[in-house]
Structure 1
Amino acid sequence: MPEKGVLPEKEPGAFRTIGEVAEDLDLPQHVLRFWETRFTQVRPLKRGGNRRYYRPDDVDLLKGIRRLLYGQGYTIRGVQRILRERGMRFVQAVGRGEQVAPAFVESDHDPEPETAPPPLGRADRASLTAVLDELRACRRQLARLAPTREATDG
């Protein structure tokens, strides 16, 4: 009989609660909930009271995400890219230690387009010029009001 407060080991195919998964991954529960918002592939079952239950595949996916983020230094965008390009099964295999993600340097911005954007047409340029003129008129009106406000504040 197990000691009081110690849960018996679950079967490998059993569902896990968010607390069990968080403890297994050595992460706070709020990190797992945050990852649900950033990785659409993370979809635990939700039961009464919005309790989350993770399947074994969900746990492998979370382990893979954790390994990529914390072990290999990927950013969230980088892991999203791996999920998009390599798929969920690949990241689950990373979580099980069966695969290793490619090492590459990530940038926080998209690469510059190789071609310049097309020039503005005459109508677009005229619209932008009209908006700019209107903004300049607003600035002049505000500048005229500013001294009046300062005089009343003092």
Structure 2
Amino acid sequence: MAVGKQIYPDKLYYRIGEVCRITGLKPHVLRYWEQEFRLRPERFGGTQRRYRREDLDTILTIKKLLYDERFTITGAKKKLLELSRRRRGQLDMNFLEEGYKEVLREIRKELKEIKEALD
């Protein structure tokens, strides 16, 4: 579930304070969500969390589900899993479509060669 176009700095990593400013959440909420959801920021220096852009998008989606759409933690987990599966299915379909397009290109090429040989 995309939360719309988010405007935040285009960086590889965000520190927990930056994520808090962007999302309006407290650090303890983020730490709790790390325990409850598939949210695993990298650790720098053993303790400092470094969130990626994907983490930030996930956090904003979780926030929308919990605060705006009033999901429970369990409901939000199920919804995130459903969204993940749907996204993965769309990627698979796109891959298949590209594969079919390539096969059709090859068939078209072979048909042109046959036509030219017959002419």
TM-score by length of 2: 0.61
Q: CA separation of 1:80/1:51 partners in 2, compared to 1, >3 Å: closer, same or farther?
A: same
Task: Write the deviation string for residues 7-65 of structure 1: whole angstroms up to 9, x where unpaired.
Answer: xxx851331001110111111100000000000x2110101141000000110000000
Q: CA separation of 1:20/1:44 partners in 2, compared to 1, >3 Å: closer, same or farther?
A: same
Deviation at 1:69, TM superposition (A): 0.5
For 2:48, which of 43, 46, 51 is the aligned residue? 51
Q: CA separation of 1:89/1:52 partners in 2, compared to 1, >3 Å: closer, same or farther?
A: farther
Larger RCO, structures 1/2 (Cα 8 Å, 6+ apart): 2
Name the structure 2 match of 1:23.
21
Structure 2: which 5+ residue stretches go unaligned?
Answer: 1-7, 88-119
Aligned length: 80
Name the structure 1 match of 2:59.
62
Identity percentage of aligned residues: 39
Q: CA RMSD in A?
A: 2.0
Which structure has the bigger radius of gyration?
Answer: 1
**CA–CA distance in 1 between the matches of 2:47 and 2:63?**
23
TM-score by length of 1: 0.48
Name the structure 2 match of 1:73.
70
4+ runs of 1 displaced by more than 2 Å? none
Name the structure 1 match of 2:94.
none
